Chain A
Amino acid sequence: MAKIEANAADPVIDMAVISSHDALSLARKNLLQAIDTSRLQSFDKLYTAAQDPIGDNMAVGYTFYASSIVYRSDLVSIESWNDLLGEKLADNVALPNITGTQGPLTLMMLNKAEGGKPGEFSGTISAIGKHADDIVTFYSRSSELAQLMNQEEVIAAPVGRFAWSRFKSSPLPFAWAEPKEGQAGGMNVMIMTANNGNEDLAYKLMDYWLSTEVQTRIAEALIDSPANTEVKVSDEVAENLTYGAELINSLNILDPAVIIANRDVWVEQWNNEVIR
């Protein structure tokens, strides 16, 4: 994002893959151009939610991800997102940092579990602040979390499904929670910078990436879950992904506009009450 902003007059990045709220942030600064969807042969094969996720055709979704709680099934069971701040996980739980993509999703689900007003996370951040000493760390990367859980430093934490393969292959018994409030979800999107001069090549790459064949291969390699509805994978592969219309439609999605509008306030409150 910094590179796109710093080189707005003479872009050095033509297209990028990025979170939907970061894409919206760039779009609002007029740093992106609308995508001509007629130039994407696979556009009609995409899930509806992926076709125009931030409005004005400023982005196209290329992958979905569910977000839930990974936990040690031999030590605890997880029924609700509220369990993250409960007694049984005290001193053994990690949460994602607010500055990453998983942080706001966790706030959303904790807020939902508490029965809070959608998008109003002030009470949830205060609740996390009160339990800050019980939380081992606020991680930034899923790889960091996988290491901590494999070292038995942490026994439960919210994480994106894209990281599940890191846990599934562990000798420790990790499980993927299906809390009663449901799973959170997010989408990563493709964007095209304004006036980059390489639009033709950028469209070619986007079209290639969204094609059924490439989306299938990326899914089979357990890299990203497909946004192309025609992708078919084995049950074993699907188990590791955010796959299928039923699952995708059941996800709790946080509106990118809500994140953009509130992120600075959330971060400030988080810094003052949680990180301290």
Chain B
Amino acid sequence: MFLNRSEGFALALPAALFTCLVFLVPVGILLSAAFQAEPGVWSLQGYVDFFSQPLNQSVFLRTLKLGVLVAGTSAVIGYAAAFCIVNLPASSRGRIFGLVVLPLMISPVARTYAWIVILGRTGIVNDVIVGLGLSETPIRLLFTETAVFIGLLQLFLPLMIISLVSAMENIPQDVVPAARVLGASWFQVFFRVILPLTKEGLVIGGTLVFTGALTAYITPAILGGSKVLMLETLLYQKVNVSNDFVSASVIAMILIVMCFSANLVLKRIASVRS
């Protein structure tokens, strides 16, 4: 396409320089603090200190747990929704897909505040619970892990559905009917036909959802508050309350490692299956 390599290089140079100057360099400087117990003294003491605190351990495990749960639940719901969408007539498919994408066009702040109204003691969920006689009085749903889980799931499920719809659209139309005709149960169809053929979409969707759940700030802050701290809300506290940039940098580095690890693990799982 290019006359020579230098032409391609010249075209990519502005974007590469911009990314380096405004992202990689400042992030690198910031993260370098995670390896300096004191200015100029390199060590891993920040990580030792961080993981020696029981609160930090529980925040780390909670973040990991919610990330895995949100990604896993998104995959289950996402496969069902994506399978349904790709089998719709073309005219309906566009409309339904638009509805899936619609929440992504609304601010996460607005979406999360809506959950406060829904999950509150005077909200719809409690109205139903009390109406059905499941509880005599409204129950507390806000500021719990459940509330954060629901908020994150709603926030990132569309990303999983989009990834899986794209992957499923590439499956040859005849393979599922062929498998059924040959006697495969729906369970076998999913695990031996659909899943292997859509693993790339699952890896992309899983990475996006897991990374998003890990790094989301607004939803855990609003729906979890200080009772359900996650790494991202703890990071904010370290910077804005404790003025502890070393711990904040350690948390940022842990989040980056977790995100990259998730992608590697998902790719590994996908490759093992094939």
Instruction: Give residues in A with beta carbon < 8 Å to B.
Output: 1-2, 5, 91, 97, 99, 132, 135-140, 147, 151-153, 267, 271-272, 275-276
Contact = CB atoms under 8 A, between A and B. Distances in A.
A275 B140 CA distance: 17
B120 A137 contact: no
A1 B122 contact: no
Given A271-B53, A272-B55, A275-B227, A153 B142 contact: yes
Contacts of A5: 243
Given A136-B142, A137-B143, A151-B121, A275 B55 contact: yes
B227 A153 contact: no
A2 B248 CA distance: 14
Contacts of A152: 120-122
Contact of A272 (B54, B140, B143): B54
10 contacts: A91-B140, A135-B227, A137-B143, A138-B227, A139-B226, A151-B121, A153-B140, A271-B53, A275-B55, A276-B54
B263 interface: no
A153 B121 contact: yes
Given A99-B241, A137-B227, A152-B120, A271 B143 contact: no
Contact of B226 (A2, A91, A140, A151): A140
Nearest to B221: A140
A97 B54 CA distance: 19
Contacts of B227: 132, 135, 137-138, 275
Contacts of B166: none
B237 A99 contact: yes
B201 to A, nearest CB: 38
Contacts of A135: 227
B161 interface: no
Nearest to A144: B225
B241 A276 contact: no
Interface in B231-248: 237, 239-243
B229 to A, nearest CB: 6
Interface in B119-133: 120-122
B140 A136 contact: yes
Given A1-B243, A136-B140, A136-B143, A275 B229 contact: yes
Interface in B98-125: 116-117, 120-122
A138 B221 CA distance: 12
B58 interface: yes
**10 closest Cβ contacts across the A-B interface?**
A271-B55, A137-B225, A137-B143, A99-B241, A138-B226, A151-B120, A2-B243, A97-B226, A152-B122, A152-B121
A267 B121 CA distance: 30
Interface string B17-49: 000000000000000000000000000000000
